[in-house]
Structures are given as C-alpha cells and as structure tokens.
Amino acid sequence: MAKLIGCIGTSHIPAIGGAIHKGLQQNPYWKPFFDGFPPIRAWLGKVKPDVVVIFYNDHGLNFFLDKMPTFAVGAAPQYNTADEGWGIPVLPPFKGELDLSWQIINTLVEKEFDIVTCQEMLVDHACTLPLKLFWPEGECPVTVVPICINTVQFPLPKASRVYAMGKAVGEAIAAWDSDKTVAVIGSGGLSHQLDGERAGHINKVFDLQFMESLLTNPEWATQFSIHELVEKTGTQGVELLMWLAMRAALTPGQGAGVRKVHSNYHIPISNTATGLLALEKVD
C-alpha cells in the first residue's frame, strides 16, 4: 500500500513568484519569508515523496464565477500553468498521478462527496508556487493530484465538511495499491483580505492558534462557521481551509500522531500573513 509521510501547509501569493523569478530571496523584505523553506527542503530531500496531493483554491484561472465547483479533483496526465501576470512566468506542465486521482475520485464519490472530476485543469499560483518553493531546482520531481476547494464565491463549504473531505482523501491514499510515498500540501492563507473596507486585515493571534491546533487538536477550527472564519481571518483568509483538509488527510481511521518538522510565520508579504508548517506522520 502507498505510504503517507506527512503534510506541508504554505501561503501562496503571486508576488512570491515574481521574487523567485528576480532572485530576491536575500532581499530584506523577502528574506524572513524565504528563510522558512530550507529546513523543509532538507526534510523533503530525506523522505523523498514520489507524489503530492495538493489542496488549493483556484482564483479564476480554471474556474470562473459562472461555473464554480465546491470540490474539484484533477484527473489529468499533466497540468498546465498559465500567465496570471505579476507572478511567476509560465512553468513547464506538472505531471499528474492518474492512478491516485481515480483512487481518490472513486473513494470520495463512494463516501457521498459530490465532486467535479477534471480531466483537463489549468493550475494557478496556488499550485505552482508551493511546488517551486519546495523543489526550486529544475523540473518538479514529484507527480501531483490537485484538489480544488472553492473559497472564491459564496456559498463556501463549511470547515467541518472540508475536514471530512480531507479525511476521506487520506483514507483513499492509505488504501492506494501502490508502493509510492505520498505527501499532502495545503496551499492558502493565512489571514488576509484583499478588498473592501477591511482590506489589509490580519489576525496574528488567530493564525498562530490555528497553526498550533494542527499539531495538537486538528479539528479545532471546525467549530467555526464560514462567516466566523471570514470575520476572524478576512475574506481571503478562509483559504486556511486548505490546511484543514491537508491535516485531516493525516488522520484516517483511528487517527495518527504527527511530529512538527518546521514552521515559520511572517507578516506581511504583500497583503498576507504568511505561514509555513510541515508535519511528519508518526505511526
């Protein structure tokens, strides 16, 4: 059976792509953000996942407001990126892991999640940036299964529903008949609001409590309604749902212990409080 080794949550912001492209990692503005990554790359170099399942939210590249799935699972042989402007230039396509895509899709439908299956799917900065931050050199060495969660257009799925979906994905990975190792990524957040009267809203106390909860009490955030999460973290801060799905994927069956590999938190990059957290699964 496949081996699920751990998870990594990270913020995504298009400007990070521009900074990578321009080589600004040591610039005083960017350094506190980029300095979070070497320990995680060292861990990835040791555990060497073959495949990553990445929970992310599309921002209007593949799904626009006219057609907005709550949960969409990629089942494509490759995922093309596209130019979003002010970010990272277009990257080569990422290779899909078709067999795991269908394993996840079949499991989710069996468990009564009404998902959308995407045999073609463009991926935006929420997918490209984590992969580039974790594997900066050359071609991306892992295959991917992208799972998109709507945080763009209301109504959004409840935190408890997202947790349940993430848990089912973890069960699908654990039951995958493969000798490959799998890591799970959550891409989004943490607190930020890009528009409206509260533009620039950041909530450090909540962010740090949320990150801590993923280590000690992973269901903690499911107590909050979507409106409460927006109130606390901002209209785009709800992207933290990706981290919740990611963490839930590590608790199939009776639940599993986790060990913190590394974390980082820095305010701000652009309008966002950036978080980074890697957890290793310990049986």
Q: Which residues bind ligand DHB (CB under 6 A)?
A: 12-15, 59, 192, 194, 236, 239, 270-272
Query: Between 170 and 186, whose beta carbon lies closer to ligand DHB?
Result: 186
Instruction: Tell me: cis bond preceding 136? Omega within 30 of 0 counts.
Output: no
Phi and psi of 81, rounded to 5°?
A: -100, 165
To the query of whether residue 227 is one of the catalytic residues in this protein, the response is no
Active-site position among 12, 21, 59, 125: 125
Q: Which among 192, 201, 227, 262 is annotated as catalytic?
A: 192
Q: What is the sign of the dihedral through the CA atoms of 96, 274, 91 and 82?
A: positive
Is the Cβ of residue 70 or residue 236 nearer to ligand DHB in the bound state? 236
**Taking CB positions, which residue lies at the least distance from ligand DHB?**
270
Cβ proximity to ligand DHB, 21 vs 260, nearer residue: 21
Strands 71-74 and 143-149: what pairing?
A: antiparallel
User: Minimum Å distance from CB 239 to ligand DHB?
Assistant: 6
Q: How far is CA 41 from CA 19, 23, 98, 99, in A?
A: 18, 18, 25, 26
Q: Kindly state the smallest distance separating residue 165's Cβ from ligand DHB, in Å.
A: 21
Give the pair of three-digit tokens for residue 266: 């820095």
The distance of closest approach from Cβ of residue 104 to ligand DHB in the complex, given in angstroms and rounded to an integer, is 24
Active site residue 266: no
Between 236 and 251, whose beta carbon lies closer to ligand DHB?
236
Would you tell me how many other CB atoms lie within 10 Å of the CB of residue 9?
A: 29
Distance of CA 28 to CAs 13, 21, 190, 191, Å?
A: 18, 16, 21, 22
* Active site residues per annotation: 125, 192
